[in-house]
Structure 1
Amino acid sequence: MAGSERTKMAAGEWYTCLDEELEALRVIARDAVFEHNNLSPGRRGNIGPALKSLLGAAGGSARIEAPFHCAYGFNIFLGDSVFLNAGCTLLDTAPVRIGKRTLLGPNVQIYCAEHHRQAAGRQAGLEIARPVEIGASVWIGGSAIILGGVSIGDGAIIGAGAVVTRDVAPNVTVVGNPARPVKRG
């Protein structure tokens, strides 16, 4: 399908990240992230001004601790009272939607981009973007990794260090690599 690489990325098609328009958008995000990470906490507030204006949405009292990293920013949608602890990385090549009152522990990583499986495709910068949907009142423990295409239901708990490769039902606790539900006794 013809179109810009950004259009292909947004449509969930294979695109090349080695594209001038996408690089320009990443530069804007890096500048906003730099400001956020380097402002004193009192001047930064809950989210640095440049980063907040870049985000797709940031509900009331949403807070992102520094340091933080994202790829584009405009694909990040935070509900009311969402909290991202220090060291979180959101590679938002596709929409990342995080529901109200959800808490992300330190160093949580969300990766929407999936690189091509063939070496030649990777060398050409080919990747595909898969969205991540996280419900309300979810708790994601420190250093957990959420892969693209995953949906996490309301009230779920993701254990520290878990690698989430598939959907998590509401009110379920998952742990491990790959993340599996914890059996309740």
Structure 2
Amino acid sequence: MTEREDEVLARIRQGVFYTETEAAFLGPGRRADLIFDYNGTRPGDTDRKRELLERILGSVGKRTVLLAPFHAGFGSNVHIGDDFFGNVNLTFVDDVEIRIGDGVMIAPGVTLTTTGHPIHPELREDFRRFSKPITIEDKVWIGSNVVVLPGVRIGYGAVIGAGSVVSRDIPAMTVAVGTPCRVVRHITDADLPTARPPGDGH
């Protein structure tokens, strides 16, 4: 790696703006063709899907289910733990790392994006952007059509309500909803006895 590439990587890690041209050397980490193959693999061909997933992702745990189609800018910057379930149309904008713990469930249409762009249009030439890693801790449940923004950490056991835009860290063992996403309550032992789904008034 050249001195210039080292300097660009350092800026990326610091969350400082960088351009597409500056980051072009990261291109070999993109797994677009393998993702295309994964999304076209028959649902019952679990061995083939597992083989492709291990080649696409930076790391993947045991008993992982990722329903097709899914999308990723790179794929190689995504790390998934054991007992993961990702429903259809999960999108990883993984210019930097996305780390997902064990026992995480993600509903349809969710976007995890590590990257944003400058507000002023004059700064957006050559796709200038910044990137900050996302961390999703163990046993998190993310509802449908949620967007998780750069730099966010979602704590252990948290539940993110459908349609939320998560722009700040969410503490462990909380329910958070809305745009922007805010904590509405803590998860306690009082949530254990019921077998009813959330919101069921019967």
With normalisation by structure 1, the TM-score equals 0.89
Q: CA RMSD of the aligned region, Å?
A: 2.2
1:11 positional shift: 5.2
- Structure 1 unmatched ranges of 5 or more: none
Q: Does the C-alpha gap of structure 1 residues 182 and 11 become closer, same or farther in structure 2, counting only changes over 3 Å?
A: closer
Q: Does the C-alpha gap of structure 1 residues 172 and 134 become closer, same or farther in structure 2, counting only changes over 3 Å?
A: same
Instruction: Determine the C-alpha separation between the residues in 2 that align with 1:93 and 1:164.
Output: 18
Q: Does the C-alpha gap of structure 1 residues 47 and 122 become closer, same or farther in structure 2, counting only changes over 3 Å?
A: farther
- Amino acid in the other structure paired with 1:14: F
The residue aligned with 2:121 is 119
Which among 36, 39, 42 is matched to residue 40 of structure 1? 42
- Amino acid in the other structure paired with 1:138: V
Matches within 5 A, 1:121-160: 121-160=123-162
Q: Is the 8 A contact 2:53 2:60 kept in 1?
A: no
Matches within 5 A, 1:76-91: 76-91=78-93
Which among 13, 18, 24 is matched to residue 15 of structure 1? 18
Instruction: Determine the C-alpha separation between the residues in 1 that align with 2:29 and 2:146.
Output: 27
**Counterpart secondary structure, 1:110:** strand
With normalisation by structure 2, the TM-score equals 0.82
Q: Does the C-alpha gap of structure 1 residues 51 and 32 become closer, same or farther in structure 2, counting only changes over 3 Å?
A: farther
**Counterpart secondary structure, 1:77:** strand
Moved beyond 6 Å, runs of 4+: none
1:43 positional shift: 2.0
Instruction: Determine the C-alpha separation between the residues in 2 that align with 1:78 and 1:46.
Output: 18
- Any idea what the Cα deviations from partners look like across 1:144-185, whole Å, max 9, x if unmatched? 01001100000000001111000000011011111111147x
1:15 positional shift: 1.6
Q: Is the 8 A contact 1:46 1:61 kept in 2?
A: no
Q: Does the C-alpha gap of structure 1 residues 46 and 121 become closer, same or farther in structure 2, counting only changes over 3 Å?
A: farther
**Counterpart secondary structure, 1:50:** helix
- Amino acid in the other structure paired with 1:122: R
Q: Does the C-alpha gap of structure 1 residues 133 and 110 become closer, same or farther in structure 2, counting only changes over 3 Å?
A: same
Instruction: Determine the C-alpha separation between the residues in 2 that align with 1:55 and 1:24.
Output: 13
Q: Work out which of the two has the higher radius of gyration on C-alpha atoms and give 1 or 2.
A: 2
**Counterpart secondary structure, 1:16:** coil
Q: Is the 8 A contact 1:107 1:144 kept in 2?
A: yes
1:100 positional shift: 0.2
Q: Does the C-alpha gap of structure 1 residues 92 and 46 become closer, same or farther in structure 2, counting only changes over 3 Å?
A: farther
Instruction: Determine the C-alpha separation between the residues in 1 that align with 2:122 and 2:47.
Output: 44
Q: Does the C-alpha gap of structure 1 residues 68 and 6 become closer, same or farther in structure 2, counting only changes over 3 Å?
A: farther
Matches within 5 A, 1:33-112: 33-45=35-47, 47-112=49-114
Q: How many residues end up aligned between the 2 structures?
A: 182
Q: Does the C-alpha gap of structure 1 residues 48 and 60 become closer, same or farther in structure 2, counting only changes over 3 Å?
A: closer
Q: Is the 8 A contact 2:41 2:49 kept in 1?
A: no
